[in-house]
Structure 1
Amino acid sequence: MTSVHSTRTFHSTPTAPCRRVGSLSMPSPTCSPPPKSRICVLGAGNFGSCLADHLGDSDHDVLLWSRSEDFVKFFNEHHKNPEYLTDHEFPECITAVGPDLPSAELIRSVDVLLFAIPTEALRETLTKLRPRLDEKALPLFIFVNKGIEISTRALTLEILADTCGADIARVSTFISGPSFAKEIIRRQPTSVSVASLSQEHAERASQVFHQPWFRCYTGVDPIGIELAGALKNVYAIAAGMADGLGFENNTRATRLMRSTVLITRGLGEMTRIGTAYGASPLTFLSLAGVGDLFLTCSSPTSRNYTVGYRLGKGEQLDEIIRTLGSVAEGVTTAKGLKQIIDDLGVNARIATAVYEVLYEGKNVKEQAETLMNFPVMTELELPEKNPNGPARKLMQKLGLGEDDAGKRA
């Protein structure tokens, strides 16, 4: 098996002074300062911009790529994003680039490529980037998108294998967890899961991001991390629908009760789907699982929750998407997830109900009543592991056996 390792040298930087994090003064690490890296963030949307800001404030040199020439010009002149986080002034160590995709020369100059673009655009982007990669000096690949490709039902790991090859996919890393852009930009304490089939590369990605206000926890189940990050958006739509309906009582206590029920039952569905797929059920108890699920389902600032809430209030999906202002990946993920549920034969009634509202025109209130009228069922039940499930096939595509998952590449 061929292993891919970057030949780049990371240079340690002097310990940085204390930074202000919200109302707390948080010192930078003193015993082991993070290495300084040159990072290219692909995607200047809400989340890509906030991560670029965090990385720039962590003493890295950051390039922020956008397909908009107007954005590149405006950002470099004003150090502000004209569309997202518009009141925030970004560090001067961040330079916007574009609108053309990064050249081979630029890619050779960076240590990290961070992908913060929607999953549906990922295959095209990676296909164009592939000829520009230098096999002898590959940057570290980090992905923060959360979704399932509709036409193929593929996770990012499989899209990577198809476009860039198994060697690169095996050492790519995935970051997911309860993290809202507006809170990261204000340096509110944030914790995330960082996973790769290569423990070494997961640790390297964590080293790039880790700060006292942004804690990273590593793992070796990228399939589970990806599924959890994608699926929680669908259940956030369901939580928003419930709150939008109101059930004739819009008190906080009632909303909290609805959210608790949906989060708990949603977590059960996510774990069943993930287990049938071939992921570890423990991954769904991680920051990327229940942590991100709880945050996204219980916060009105979540884009996916907002879509569900407005559907519950009777608005049409097309109008919601048109006026939302940013991408809610749960809408497209619901379509790919429905195909996965059908293929696996998993009982996932909440996810199915969301799909039927979004794509079959079912009434939100009637769907809620249908869910509440299902007969008694077992609360906790995991399907048997499928030896020929999607995860096993993906591992074979990566040139790995089932027992090799999680080992150092």
Structure 2
Amino acid sequence: MDLLRSQQVSPSARSKVLVFGAGNFGSCLADHLAHSEHEVFVWSRSPNVVKSLNETHRNPEYLQDHTFPAGLKAIGPEFPSPEVVRDMDVLLFAIPTEGTLTHLRPSLNEDDLPLMIYVNKGIEINTQALTLEIIADTCGPAIAKASTFISGPSFAKEIVRRQPTSVSIASLSKEAAQEASDLFHQPWFRCYTGDDPIGVELAGALKNVYAIAAGIADGLGFENNTRAMLITRGLAEMTRIGTAYGASPLTFLSLAGVGDLFLTCSSTASRNFTVGYRLGKGEKLEHILDTLGSVAEGVSTAKGLKKVIDDLGVAAPIATSVYEVLHEGQEVQERSRALLCLPAMSELELPSTPGRPAQRLMQKLGIEM
């Protein structure tokens, strides 16, 4: 890795970055940007995390073995003041969005917006809203259209070790996507831009559900053929759901799509895979979640995704089965048998009437599709 470090790219402009959230991913991206010579501040609700990062350059709750750059500063637990926010060039969100944006909105000037980057992903259970729609409802169309989303196969513990990693960066604004790419891009953290944030968000949320399915299969004792089957058929379901929603089917062939799906479905370091594995071994979901030690987003995403599947009227038997195991108490063995006994079907099939939810969202943003 010394070769990659020797090839570090110095930024053309040193940016002031405020990272909301000192969890695994927020911490690792803050570390990456501080190492890349940007001025980085991390906001945390935990006084202990703020104190430890500032005094020992360690996060006592996440990435505990890693020493963070001395120039990285932690702030909190009070929410950043308008003066602090307005002094930033970049705001990076690595925590649930809606409450943060509600506090933040009075501090934002639409005529002089910072670059706004989101790495949190999921489907809101009650409304099935993606983060892009939450931004539009909370902050208005102008801020939503300039927002940027990062997703891809990227375990935090490998990023801080400078293991070569690549991500997708998408925005409705090509300029904002390129600006975010320029901010992050290094030899060990390669960035690829796109203009389909809806697809990137969906892919980043849905792959967690399929990682649970892959973990269940491992827990039941199935091997490599089965995992390859689940990843491939999971990708087909993701693409079908995403296209019916209004995303580009090509997005699901990207780093945010098949790249992240492959990683989370094939690594025991994946929290969602671990939940599935333990379910396959016969443990109860409540006990797994109580002892997991971190959040497995696929558990809640499966609930919101089931409503999306029903609304769109698409066939997604793997995702539906995961929902039934997690939230309806179905037995994993029974659902596995039912999946394997489905009749033969066409392998690749996209919906004939794609795009209703995305069309509604684009109308909200004043964009013609």
TM-score (norm 1): 0.88
User: What CA distance in whole angstroms lies between the structure 1 residues aligned with 2:354 and 2:62?
Assistant: 43
Q: Does 1:312 align with 2:298?
A: no
Q: What residue number does 1:51 align with?
A: 29
Please show how residues 194-233 of structure 1 align to structure 2 within 5 Å.
194-233=169-208
Q: Does 1:28 align with 2:3?
A: no
User: What CA distance in whole angstroms lies between the structure 2 residues aligned with 1:286 and 1:195?
Assistant: 11
Q: What residue number does 2:333 align with?
A: 365
Alignment partner of 2:120: what SS? coil
Alignment partner of 1:186: what SS? coil
Percentage of matched positions with identical amino acids = 68
User: What CA distance in whole angstroms lies between the structure 2 residues aligned with 1:323 and 1:329?
Assistant: 15
Q: Of 228, 231, 250, which aligns to 1:282?
A: 250
Q: Deviations over 1:283-307 (max 9, x none)?
A: 0000100011001100100111111
Q: Which runs of 4+ in 1 moved over 6 A?
A: none
Give 2:364's aligned amino acid: K
Contact 1:26 1:213 in 2 (8 A): no
Contact 1:67 1:99 in 2 (8 A): yes
* Deviation, structure 1 residue 26: 4.1
Q: What residue number does 1:350 align with?
A: 318
* Deviation, structure 1 residue 223: 0.4
Q: Deviations over 1:8-47 (max 9, x none)?
A: xxxxxxxxxxxxx3775541237xx442111011010011
Q: What residue number does 1:76 align with?
A: 54
Alignment partner of 2:110: what SS? coil
Q: Deviations over 1:244-278 (max 9, x none)?
A: 1114xxxxxx2x22211000000000000001001
Structure 2 unaligned segments of length 5 or more: list them. none
Contact 2:4 2:188 in 1 (8 A): no
Contact 1:143 1:174 in 2 (8 A): yes
Q: Of 231, 234, 240, which aligns to 2:209?
A: 234
User: What CA distance in whole angstroms lies between the structure 2 residues aligned with 1:65 and 1:156?
Assistant: 20
Q: What residue number does 2:262 align with?
A: 294
Q: What residue number does 1:66 align with?
A: 44
Q: What residue number does 2:219 align with?
A: 244
Contact 2:9 2:36 in 1 (8 A): no
Alignment partner of 1:136: what SS? helix
User: What CA distance in whole angstroms lies between the structure 1 residues aligned with 2:163 and 2:287?
Assistant: 33
Contact 2:170 2:195 in 1 (8 A): yes
Alignment partner of 1:64: what SS? strand
Q: Deviations over 1:289-328 (max 9, x none)?
A: 0011001100100111111111111111112112212111
Q: Does 1:266 align with 2:199?
A: no
User: What CA distance in whole angstroms lies between the structure 1 residues aligned with 2:216 and 2:126?
Assistant: 26
Q: What residue number does 2:301 align with?
A: 333
Q: Does 1:400 align with 2:367?
A: yes
Give 2:158's aligned amino acid: E
User: What CA distance in whole angstroms lies between the structure 1 residues aligned with 2:232 and 2:202?
Assistant: 17
Give 1:71's aligned amino acid: V
Q: What residue number does 1:4 align with?
A: none
Contact 2:4 2:187 in 1 (8 A): no
Contact 1:22 1:187 in 2 (8 A): no
Contact 2:19 2:41 in 1 (8 A): yes
* Deviation, structure 1 residue 49: 0.6
* Deviation, structure 1 residue 384: 1.2
User: What CA distance in whole angstroms lies between the structure 1 residues aligned with 2:154 and 2:20?
Assistant: 18
TM-score (norm 2): 0.98
User: What CA distance in whole angstroms lies between the structure 2 residues aligned with 1:29 and 1:126?
Assistant: 32
Moved more, 267-276 or 97-106: 97-106
Give 1:75's aligned amino acid: L
User: What CA distance in whole angstroms lies between the structure 1 residues aligned with 2:158 and 2:106?
Assistant: 37
Contact 1:178 1:292 in 2 (8 A): yes
User: What CA distance in whole angstroms lies between the structure 2 residues aligned with 1:51 and 1:22?
Assistant: 20
Q: 1:25 to 1:37 in 2, by over 3 A?
A: closer
User: What CA distance in whole angstroms lies between the structure 1 residues aligned with 2:362 and 2:16?
Assistant: 31
Please show how residues 179-198 of structure 1 align to structure 2 within 5 Å.
179-198=154-173
Alignment partner of 1:35: what SS? coil
* Deviation, structure 1 residue 136: 3.0
Q: Deviations over 1:321-340 (max 9, x none)?
A: 12212111111110000000
Aligned length: 369
Contact 2:171 2:177 in 1 (8 A): yes
Q: What residue number does 2:358 align with?
A: 391
Q: What residue number does 1:9 align with?
A: none
Please show how residues 56-205 of structure 1 align to structure 2 within 5 Å.
56-117=34-95, 121-205=96-180
Q: CA RMSD in A?
A: 1.2
User: What CA distance in whole angstroms lies between the structure 2 residues aligned with 1:144 and 1:22?
Assistant: 28
Alignment partner of 2:111: what SS? coil
Q: What residue number does 1:39 align with?
A: 17
Give 1:96's aligned amino acid: A
Alignment partner of 1:63: what SS? strand
User: What CA distance in whole angstroms lies between the structure 1 residues aligned with 2:301 and 2:134?
Assistant: 15
